[in-house]
Structure 1
Amino acid sequence: MGFFSFIGSCISGVCSAVGSFISGACSVFTKAVAGIAGIATGALSVVLGPLGPILGPIIANLIIKVIGAVLFKLAKLLHITKEEEKPEEVGYRVDEASRHEDWKKREEFASFQDYYDYLRQQIPDEEIDQDKLNKNSGAYRIIGSSTLYHEIGEEEGMDLPGEFMMDIGRGKLSAEEVKTVLKTFKDLKVDGKSIADYWEGNMTFREEKPITEALRTAFAVLYPEKSKEEINDRLDDIRSATRGTIDNGDSLETLKRLYKDEISQMEQERADIAKSGDSDALREFDRVK
């Protein structure tokens, strides 16, 4: 699968991953990702907006930001990107590159760092359309995150499913936890595509058991200060958050607990804006960005 094709399918996988929380928006999203450039039109807000009845735009925004921050950090740990690069700027440049058939392709470079240095030359910082970037920052963050996710999979030699990218946000996994999960699946020689199946409960008990035991061991190494019960609780939280449906109150409660501090802060910010009576600012705050 080509570079841009993967990103499109990866973003489509994110749609599938949140499908249990939304209604009627996936077809809009699918049309948008048919051409990667279509993401920058604001379709992302259309897709994630219906999360409102369950999680609301506040959690939707938090999940998107966590995905970008975690993948960005992991990409740096794996020496895929440089420190100064931001997911939304990566997304902006990758999106612009998809519009230029005459530009060099990712496949022509030995590494993503080399490719992105080329994109920086094609689009210097001062030539970034900041209004466009700010207006579609959520969409560009998803494109950038998908790009980094693709490169992480390439670096690890794994065929990663798009759905797992959303699971990272819903489970609030850290970069170190994601790295541990990927290594565990590699060591078990389990197909990378099965990662989302595991977290989202699409495996039989017999298939799940050896993976769970391996993850417990790996997380114990990652967190030597934690007890066995704390390790089990953390893995249970990730499973609960990623296996939720519209009728799953446990999943919603887990998400609210995982994001408790962030939700409280953002709810206060929203309340302050609402109190000011600035309806335009309130709509902007509620937009997934």
Structure 2
Amino acid sequence: MGLFDTICSIGSSIVSGVKSVCSAIGSACSSIGGAIASGIGTLAQKILELPVKPTIVDAIIGLVKAVAELLMDSPKDEKVEDLGAAMKQAEKKPEDFDSINDYIDYLREEIKKGNVKLGQSEGIELFSEKMMGVALLSEGLGEKYGMKPSAEFWGEMGKKVHDGKLEPKEVGSIIQKASQAEVQLDNVSNYLKGEEVKDNKKSEVSSVIIGGLKESNPSLSDLEIDKRFNELIKQ
């Protein structure tokens, strides 16, 4: 059982569990204040409100952390909930910095200095901090690559990783390729779901996905990449 399953079991249903965590996230981000914290809280809440199983939410958490390690050199031993706790306890706020990633570096330094009390939260509070940390890393990725990964994007990528159709390194390469080609990440997830692609051609989106698969799997032949791509888009 994942942590999200455990949180949901606290309430009478999954819905009540999600509402409790979302409420905790909203309260924390309101206390931090500012548009950036509000945006982080909104993304965290939207991920939780996706129509997916709790195991997919756990997959999303692991995926965002793994991609941040690959693309932003996040420490491998970093716990995303520690970033969430740091957001709540740190004196400085996101608006005090020129960039989200500068703010993330500041939070890591505060943790390193021992200025953040870790391991104090349990249950709903702990999970809310975990989701805040995930959303913060997502915003950092978006800033670095000039795009904004949405809850829907992470939801679809998380499902594909959960089902063994994608690996985190492939998601990271797809994000890089999308940034280079100016293809919206929502169009990537929409394409994989067989839904409408807006503002980009379908061929551009498919090229980004295939390019990401190739770059992250240099030992695979074109035939093997095509097979992996076809499995990925299969509904």
Measured in 2, the distance between the counterparts of 1:186 and 1:83 equals 24
Deviations 1:83-136 (A, max 9, x none): 432112222333x24xx8xx3112323512123323665753xx3354x33555
Q: Give the count of matched residue pairs.
A: 193
Offset of residue 211 of structure 1: 1.6
Correspondence for 2:36? 3
TM-score (norm 1): 0.56
Offset of residue 153 of structure 1: 0.8
Aligned residues: CA RMSD: 3.1
Measured in 2, the distance between the counterparts of 1:5 and 1:135 equals 19
Q: 1:214 to 1:148 in 2, by over 3 A?
A: closer
Q: With CA pairs under 8 Å and 6+ residues apart, which has the higher RCO, 1 or 2?
A: 1
Residue identity opposite 1:116 in structure 2 = R
**Counterpart check, 1:128 vs 2:121:** no
**Counterpart check, 1:230 vs 2:224:** yes
36, 45, 64: which one aligns with 1:71: 64
Correspondence for 1:54? none
160, 167, 172: which one aligns with 2:156: 167
**Counterpart check, 1:104 vs 2:73:** no
Measured in 1, the distance between the counterparts of 2:139 and 2:208 equals 25
Offset of residue 148 of structure 1: 0.7
SS of equivalent residue, structure 1 residue 182:
helix
Residue identity opposite 2:218 in structure 1 = P
SS of equivalent residue, structure 1 residue 78:
helix
**Counterpart check, 1:116 vs 2:105:** no
Measured in 1, the distance between the counterparts of 2:79 and 2:58 equals 11
Deviations 1:51-101 (A, max 9, x none): 4xxxxxxxx23x33332233223223334533432112222333x24xx8x
Q: 1:219 to 1:157 in 2, by over 3 A?
A: same
2:83/2:107 contact within 8 Å kept? no
- Which stretches of structure 1, 4 residues or longer, exceed 6 Å deviation after superposition? none
Correspondence for 2:187? 194
Deviations 1:228-270 (A, max 9, x none): 3432343344444xxxxxxxxx5xxxxxxxxxxxxxxxxxxxx
Correspondence for 1:35? none
Gaps of 5+ in 2: 1-33
Identity %: 19
Measured in 2, the distance between the counterparts of 1:171 and 1:143 equals 23
Measured in 2, the distance between the counterparts of 1:12 and 1:236 equals 32
Which structure has the bigger radius of gyration? Answer: 1
Gaps of 5+ in 1: 22-50, 52-59, 241-249, 251-289
Measured in 1, the distance between the counterparts of 2:134 and 2:188 equals 18
Q: 1:228 to 1:66 in 2, by over 3 A?
A: same
Residue identity opposite 2:46 in structure 1 = G
SS of equivalent residue, structure 2 residue 148:
coil
Offset of residue 150 of structure 1: 0.9
Offset of residue 187 of structure 1: 2.2
Correspondence for 1:256? none
**Counterpart check, 1:81 vs 2:74:** yes
